[in-house]
Structure 1
Amino acid sequence: MTVASALRKKRRNLQSDRKANLHQLYSSDDVIKLYEISRNTLTNWIADGLPFIDAGSRLFRGSDLNAFHSRRRLKAAGEPLGRFLVNCFGCKRSHSLLEGDVSVSPGRTDGIFRVSKICPDTGVRANRFVCREELDTLQRLRETDPGSKTPD
């Protein structure tokens, strides 16, 4: 197997949102060939909300395919994290740095600090890197004890 064919065979989880022609109709077989997917993947996409036209066989609009993949990319990117929140990779939720115990250690770069919190559910350490100004603001807010409210 050559390097070029290995790169072509690389598994892709997110498809391009510009692959389909906007004003073209695609059959199921056309979609499978266009995106190099299996029939089961197409069935999963339909279950996830890919619209189709039921005209004896399923037909897909190019604009619907592109919009579906655009939504999937936005969903995969997730919501932007709030100012004083950390993501826990154990429970897949975000936790506030304003409540509970946190630890602060210097980062690899001058003026950058790592603020860590242990997830109360899983015990996994969640980290966030902040600059000196953000750290000062965080410490000031923790001293005033605002509870779970964040200044976002």
Structure 2
Amino acid sequence: MNTILCTTRGGEASYPNQDRAIQLAKEQGSPLVFLHVINIEFLDRIASPVLVDIESELKHLGEFVLAMAQERAEDAGVQVHTVCKSGDLKQALLEVIQEFNIHTLVLGSPAGDTASTTQPYLQSLIQTIMERTGVEVVVVHNGEVVEHYSPV
């Protein structure tokens, strides 16, 4: 069975992309995994006890975002799992792809200059993920497929 993985940050921009992943899972009769990754490395100059508190709060927020996505997927009749990880996005993706035997990865496209992810980073991430795992990658923006990469 083909399992689909969809990364999500939460927020309004993520909803159409989550909906596209839900639609793909429903069309294919596939299970869906939503992944939220917390990375606080940019806060490396803050005292360690404060970092623990910040990471804990961000984890709670991530779990809430995932619960909302899970509810929408279940309402659509899709079997869904959620995973909240801390650390590097690439490493988290590789771990979840292996753990859940993922066949298709759905990623959101950067939303211009204000995005936290850049287009060059996304392209590098896609190349690495495909080379290491052989998964299909679908890039969506506002719920529309803008790029599709099939394994060779």
| TM-score, normalization by structure 1 | 0.22
Bigger relative contact order, structure 1 or 2, given CA contacts below 8 A and separation 6+? 2
Q: Give the TM-score taking structure 2 as reference length.
A: 0.22
Query: Could you say which structure has the larger radius of gyration?
Result: 1
Question: Going by fraction, where is helix more abundant, 1 or 2?
Answer: 2
